[in-house]
Structure 1
């Protein structure tokens, strides 16, 4: 097995790498057990009551647990390098999402350093009786001390965190012991309900939620871990599990030790419960500094990873690290500068809320990235961590979104707007992604599901759109052909540039690769969205025959061929050797391909491109039938392209029955019926002279194509060789498919099936009525016969004669009903047979186990 490649600036040396406890559990738990535990949890319990406080804990920790599940799945599916959340999301959702999130996370964590240090400064200044300015100086001193540790590297910072961990453990233990010794069950019951004049639920949730934003701190250290795939899930779950237990016990102890007014009115309430109050003060110091230290370690590593990926060129200088551990000293210096600026700005409540939203967005995107990866069903998604489900990840993303809106929808909207702006900037300015992400796998899965869904639905004329095979061997003409095909599909179809290589032997593989590269380059030069296709075959005729019969997948098939009139392929299409090339053009028409032949010389093309957009005109020489309908539709689609959006559309038709006005009115009604806006023009005839006189000043002319002995003729039966040189760009068109421009939704296969099903239902109804009539007649016959026998026994001859007549009448009616029943049964069988044939024709009787599974796709 090959070793994973390193990113630029990243070392494979694991000698100084961190383990699960030091690299993941420690920074995560120290951030979670922060200032909220010591100075705000009591307030939340007092104001919300224990019942709502437990609900707040449940919601916050649901986010933690679901995101930890997602993190564990995605982290065990790839080799996690430096950058934490940024790396995971960028390698899943793509360059743009990762870059946008990485930048805001770096800024959020850098600002968090300043906030935590301000909190530390305010606590110290409060103990010393100092002013706000003193608090800021203390905060700057704390930043300098933490910076010196972060500058030396993660190993030195981890040693500091061990000392902090010890202080926090002693502080929590002191509180727990004091809480157990002073336990009051009656007080617990009193504190169960919220305070009468307390703030709302979501206000208190917003106060508490920062306590749940530290469990991904270990992810930011991913580049410094010996085994990220193992350490990240284990360390994160340990940190989340321990923190849930600590907060749950602490909330219960608060409720069972202090009155509600004390809890909601004294942020130092933990000192009243702890057996050694001094340890709580030390814990506050440790909590603020440890949270700041964790952010000081995480932020520079996100920036360094982004710089190594060259996301924002201006940040590339931060990719360089120092020492065996690749310590990001440049990024650390930048993070420190942002932290100092944060302290200098003072009151930053709005920024604080937006920063919280950035963290929530990162958790939501981490959950969504896991759902996205799993939903793509890529064979490469094989996480070693199995205890997750894609629906759980999706639920985690939705909960994060809900909490953002519930806490502060304005700050949430601002955070989303910043992220979206960065995403759009990267999407518009970035080149091809420097790594593979899951977006292609996701789109492939969507293509699969959509193709399967299309195959289960009936084809309808309203669904028709041009799917074009563009044949060209001439590179000079190919660019023009590609551009014309893009106009022709009108942003609604697909284009495939085709080249058939004739020959045999091993060198054909090399020639095929060269031809594909040439097609890729020509497509790129043309600026057209198209696919290249090169086919190797012993002869052009064999290759084209196979191509036309096999191109496409499932219901997605090509339906139109586009050629250059003077190209090599056109010469083969219209050569005198008509039997070659699979019966040449007639074979293509029999296979259902419409044909468009473009006559566009270089000087004509240049003249068209120089023509002002509002002076361009498309002439369509209309004739009734499928070819005329196809020309109308292609002319309309042309105007949907940017190049022809301001062009005039003229439809020209020969005068009928020597009545120009009636012909023009009929044409106008036809255009109105098919909902195509165009100018109706009536000419005397469709001779070459009339065509030249009428369309010489047009930009593009659509002419119907016909064949005579393998050569193109116009609608009058004359060759077009003398016509084309006297016209601008010309597209010669013949339709091989039925083109219905005004198809009703009930028409087509769906309408035929509906009619057949209705006929079967009506036949069954008739059969049922006849059967009911026969049953009624049989019952009457039996009753009449019984009455007749009784009359005979009684000697009542007059009644017997009447009953004989009734019996004869019933038998006559029964004979007629029986004949009607036979006819109804025959009609029912015919209708059922017709319906079955239609179902077989449209492949509606096929059902597979995979189809049943696909119906249950989320």
Structure 2
């Protein structure tokens, strides 16, 4: 068995500090644009427009950009939901779909990036031979030399390479501008008329042209591949990637129309350097081709090793561990860079840009489709930990992206699509058979939670992670019809993502105990059915509530479906106070979180009180659970529009602004929106008196009493809570919830 709970790489270097990392423009936008505006644009876009005609060419551009845009949405959603580390798409997919899927994508995506180096180098070689035909060197020799130079640049370090790309970016823009000026001067309706209808060659069609063009838009991962080298990946990856997509889409659309209007169809098909011919400055185009191809090769040569290094460090396949080692202060993946160079050199041996491009298209389609699938599962399964900051995150968008990728794979080349899927399945089976144990939380437990026997068995095999925490609430309601709002709050807090069990403890009745238990259970089932609850009935017979709760917590549930939270009502009856405290202590000793719910008045069924949701903040110990419960509560239609507020008393000696900023930073990490209000005062009554005038529900932390003095103080706290003019839930957290999950 592979156990990657252990440290994966003893020799792993410290992560680079923020000063050596990159921002949005340098780390994401520039690499993406330089990779997208690459060899296909300068050397093959004229052929795409000439064979397809301008309208089909526009369809190809928009279809390709739509797929990358949908994938960028998924990329942005997951990137804003996790704390990004190195590995780009591999990291995101493995942390969502699990180690097995991540391993498959790690291999496939590494190969896609490595072979892309070969494609860009071959494109550079074509342009170089056209410009300098009498060098005396063969195309293979030139490509090998360029591949070696690219390797040396990246081997020196990413920081130096990023700085070089700024100059390449400027040169590329000048080249594009030179083409635009030249094309506008040569525009004619006669040329445009020849390019309205497609002129496919005998062996080509719309889908072969799409396969040829698609690598031109696959650079959207260039920024994500640098995730471990970014100052703020969750901010830079979405904004930098989306801006790069829109910026390059405008360039491609304009370039397509200008090519169609400035040259005839025959001219577009017969000259690979047609862009140079149209431009006002051939030297700028040559420089642009050199810049685009070299920058794209550099970006892929930088990205591929980082994918392989991240994959190796997870130790899913021990034989790859050799490539996990980083070098120097910036943790450069030099061993993985050497392997990337070797793979690229093997690709160069093919020597045909048109042969390599469709293969790369299939590799990227698989990666994009799996990334979309990962985001779809995150949204569909509905883990409470899935709280992306990205505005356009929805499972339907990701599903559309995944379906589009699969459809286009089969339209481009059905045989290679089937072969690719078979390879993916074989790799997945091979890795799964090794019983991989991952140390990160993923959606495997989430999917298992929704299924029956097989899913339960799957859950039993998975290690626990706070990412997969869900509320499994045991509601001690007694007869549910007497306190229906306990069951309602249980349902609201579970929010359709957890389990609610409605429990009643009845006294033993000798020979009639079984019948009484059955009657009580039938009454609860009827209540659940009539109220439309998603809940399970639980009835036990015992001599007391505390001993009955002990029985339920020991016996109720199966595997991961055991209750992790106990919900009870409040009482101020002093005759029952001792047993009430004993019951709370039993739940705490059994490591269950506790919710003590007090409702102000009887209301219509499923009608919450009016006002805000307030959380009385006393620190992270119970605050994490209260904040997550508030977030889950707002998922219900009845509570969706309610404002969530944090009410905090200012500790002695703490500046108010810094204390408030600290809480706001925690909220940002938790990816939960709430307003923060800090008040001076020595006790909770001051806050409650000031702020509960428009409160619907107040969450308050508490500690189970362990001594007689604490029981007296706890009685005063519960009594005070029952006098507040709002519903109150006192919360004790037994752990298992954290802000970063």
**TM-score if structure 2 supplies the norm length?**
0.60
CA offset at residue 20 of structure 1? 0.8
Task: Give the match for residue 686 of structure 2.
Answer: none
- Alignment of 1:392 onto 2:397: yes
Task: Give the match for residue 103 of structure 1.
Answer: 107
- Residues 397-423 of structure 1, C-alpha deviations (whole Å, 9 max, x = no match): 111111111001111122222222111
User: Contact 1:16–1:324 (CA<8 Å) still a contact in 2?
Assistant: no
CA offset at residue 345 of structure 1? 5.1
CA offset at residue 52 of structure 1? 0.9
Matches within 5 A, 1:704-715: none
Q: Measured at CA, do residues 345 and 48 of structure 1 come closer, stay the same or move farther in structure 2, by a change above 3 Å?
A: closer
Q: Measured at CA, do residues 443 and 58 of structure 1 come closer, stay the same or move farther in structure 2, by a change above 3 Å?
A: same
Task: Give the match for residue 226 of structure 1.
Answer: 231
User: Contact 1:350–1:411 (CA<8 Å) still a contact in 2?
Assistant: no
Q: 1:418 aligns with which of 402, 420, 423?
A: 423
Q: 1:299 aligns with which of 287, 300, 304?
A: 304
Q: Tell me the distance in 1 between the aligned counterparts of 2:418 and 2:455.
A: 37
CA offset at residue 439 of structure 1? 2.6
Q: Measured at CA, do residues 332 and 582 of structure 1 come closer, stay the same or move farther in structure 2, by a change above 3 Å?
A: farther
Q: Measured at CA, do residues 272 and 422 of structure 1 come closer, stay the same or move farther in structure 2, by a change above 3 Å?
A: same
Q: Tell me the distance in 1 between the aligned counterparts of 2:273 and 2:217.
A: 21
Task: Give the match for residue 86 of structure 1.
Answer: 90
Task: Give the match for residue 119 of structure 2.
Answer: 115
Matches within 5 A, 1:160-199: 160-195=164-199, 199=204
Task: Give the match for residue 842 of structure 1.
Answer: none
Q: Measured at CA, do residues 589 and 200 of structure 1 come closer, stay the same or move farther in structure 2, by a change above 3 Å?
A: same
Task: Give the match for residue 55 of structure 1.
Answer: 59
Q: 3-state DSSP class of the match of 2:315?
A: coil
CA offset at residue 356 of structure 1? 2.0
Q: Tell me the distance in 1 between the aligned counterparts of 2:179 and 2:351.
A: 32
How many corresponding residue pairs? 481
Q: Tell me the distance in 2 between the aligned counterparts of 1:196 and 1:407.
A: 15
Q: 3-state DSSP class of the match of 2:438?
A: coil
User: Contact 1:373–1:442 (CA<8 Å) still a contact in 2?
Assistant: no
CA offset at residue 60 of structure 1? 0.6
Q: Tell me the distance in 2 between the aligned counterparts of 1:848 and 1:353.
A: 58
Q: Which has the larger radius of gyration?
A: 1
Q: Tell me the distance in 1 between the aligned counterparts of 2:385 and 2:333.
A: 32
Q: Measured at CA, do residues 182 and 440 of structure 1 come closer, stay the same or move farther in structure 2, by a change above 3 Å?
A: same
Q: Tell me the distance in 2 between the aligned counterparts of 1:179 and 1:239.
A: 24
Q: 3-state DSSP class of the match of 2:85?
A: coil
Q: 2:348 aligns with which of 332, 335, 343?
A: 343
- Residues 251-294 of structure 1, C-alpha deviations (whole Å, 9 max, x = no match): 01111111111112222211221001122122222222111111
- Alignment of 1:359 onto 2:368: no
Matches within 5 A, 1:439-518: 439-444=444-449, 446=450
Q: Tell me the distance in 2 between the aligned counterparts of 1:404 and 1:493.
A: 31
Matches within 5 A, 1:465-614: 583=510
Task: Give the match for residue 236 of structure 1.
Answer: 241
Q: 2:154 aligns with which of 150, 154, 178?
A: 150
- Residues 55-97 of structure 1, C-alpha deviations (whole Å, 9 max, x = no match): 1111011112111111111111111100000001111111111
- Alignment of 1:427 onto 2:432: yes
User: Contact 1:35–1:288 (CA<8 Å) still a contact in 2?
Assistant: yes
Q: Measured at CA, do residues 416 and 494 of structure 1 come closer, stay the same or move farther in structure 2, by a change above 3 Å?
A: closer
Task: Give the match for residue 483 of structure 2.
Answer: none
Task: Give the match for residue 459 of structure 1.
Answer: none
How big is the alpha-carbon RMSD for the aligned residues of Structure 1 and Structure 2? 3.6
Q: Tell me the distance in 1 between the aligned counterparts of 2:272 and 2:29.
A: 28
Q: Tell me the distance in 1 between the aligned counterparts of 2:424 and 2:88.
A: 18
CA offset at residue 133 of structure 1? 7.0
Task: Give the match for residue 539 of structure 1.
Answer: none
Q: Which moved more, 1:434-443 or 1:147-156?
A: 434-443
Matches within 5 A, 1:614-693: none
**TM-score if structure 1 supplies the norm length?**
0.52
Q: Measured at CA, do residues 196 and 413 of structure 1 come closer, stay the same or move farther in structure 2, by a change above 3 Å?
A: closer
User: Contact 2:211–2:361 (CA<8 Å) still a contact in 1?
Assistant: no
User: Contact 1:375–1:442 (CA<8 Å) still a contact in 2?
Assistant: no
Q: Tell me the distance in 2 between the aligned counterparts of 1:326 and 1:284.
A: 31
Q: Which moved more, 1:38-47 or 1:169-178?
A: 38-47
- Residues 455-512 of structure 1, C-alpha deviations (whole Å, 9 max, x = no match): xxxxxxxxxxxxxxxxxxxxxxxxxxxxxxxxxxxx89989xxxxxxxxxxxxxxxxx
CA offset at residue 211 of structure 1? 0.7
CA offset at residue 359 of structure 1? 0.6
Q: Tell me the distance in 1 between the aligned counterparts of 2:397 and 2:277.
A: 41
User: Contact 2:33–2:248 (CA<8 Å) still a contact in 1?
Assistant: yes
Q: Tell me the distance in 2 between the aligned counterparts of 1:169 and 1:442.
A: 47
Task: Give the match for residue 278 of structure 1.
Answer: 283
User: Contact 1:124–1:135 (CA<8 Å) still a contact in 2?
Assistant: no
Q: Tell me the distance in 1 between the aligned counterparts of 2:367 and 2:177.
A: 33
CA offset at residue 847 of structure 1? 11
Q: Measured at CA, do residues 589 and 493 of structure 1 come closer, stay the same or move farther in structure 2, by a change above 3 Å?
A: farther
User: Contact 2:67–2:401 (CA<8 Å) still a contact in 1?
Assistant: yes
- Residues 674-721 of structure 1, C-alpha deviations (whole Å, 9 max, x = no match): xxxxxxxxxxxxxxxxxxxxxxxxxxxxxxxxxxxxxxxxxxxxxxxx
User: Contact 2:8–2:315 (CA<8 Å) still a contact in 1?
Assistant: no
Q: Tell me the distance in 2 between the aligned counterparts of 1:83 and 1:89.
A: 10
Q: 3-state DSSP class of the match of 1:256?
A: helix
User: Contact 1:31–1:287 (CA<8 Å) still a contact in 2?
Assistant: yes
Q: Tell me the distance in 1 between the aligned counterparts of 2:172 and 2:373.
A: 34
- Alignment of 1:65 onto 2:88: no
Task: Give the match for residue 322 of structure 1.
Answer: 327
Matches within 5 A, 1:691-730: none
Q: Tell me the distance in 2 between the aligned counterparts of 1:318 and 1:554.
A: 47
CA offset at residue 110 of structure 1? 1.4
Task: Give the match for residue 600 of structure 2.
Answer: none
Stretches of structure 2 that go unaligned for 5 or more consecutive residues are 1-6, 464-471, 475-497, 520-604, 609-632, 638-741
User: Contact 1:371–1:394 (CA<8 Å) still a contact in 2?
Assistant: yes
Q: Measured at CA, do residues 354 and 420 of structure 1 come closer, stay the same or move farther in structure 2, by a change above 3 Å?
A: farther
- Alignment of 1:139 onto 2:147: no
Task: Give the match for residue 4 of structure 2.
Answer: none
Q: Tell me the distance in 1 between the aligned counterparts of 2:136 and 2:414.
A: 31
User: Contact 1:67–1:366 (CA<8 Å) still a contact in 2?
Assistant: yes
Q: 3-state DSSP class of the match of 2:219?
A: coil
CA offset at residue 187 of structure 1? 3.0
Q: Measured at CA, do residues 133 and 439 of structure 1 come closer, stay the same or move farther in structure 2, by a change above 3 Å?
A: farther
CA offset at residue 348 of structure 1? 8.8
Matches within 5 A, 1:373-392: 373-392=378-397
Task: Give the match for residue 732 of structure 2.
Answer: none
Q: Tell me the distance in 2 between the aligned counterparts of 1:68 and 1:492.
A: 34
Q: Tell me the distance in 2 between the aligned counterparts of 1:401 and 1:136.
A: 34
Q: Tell me the distance in 1 between the aligned counterparts of 2:282 and 2:49.
A: 20
User: Contact 2:212–2:358 (CA<8 Å) still a contact in 1?
Assistant: no
Q: Measured at CA, do residues 223 and 251 of structure 1 come closer, stay the same or move farther in structure 2, by a change above 3 Å?
A: same
Matches within 5 A, 1:191-270: 191-195=195-199, 199-270=204-275
Q: Tell me the distance in 2 between the aligned counterparts of 1:28 and 1:277.
A: 25
CA offset at residue 556 of structure 1? 13
Q: Which has the higher contact order (CA 8 A, sep 6+)?
A: 2
User: Contact 2:43–2:123 (CA<8 Å) still a contact in 1?
Assistant: no
- Alignment of 1:331 onto 2:331: no
Stretches of structure 1 that go unaligned for 5 or more consecutive residues are 1-5, 451-490, 496-519, 525-532, 536-551, 558-579, 594-845, 854-858
- Residues 118-138 of structure 1, C-alpha deviations (whole Å, 9 max, x = no match): 232233234443699711111
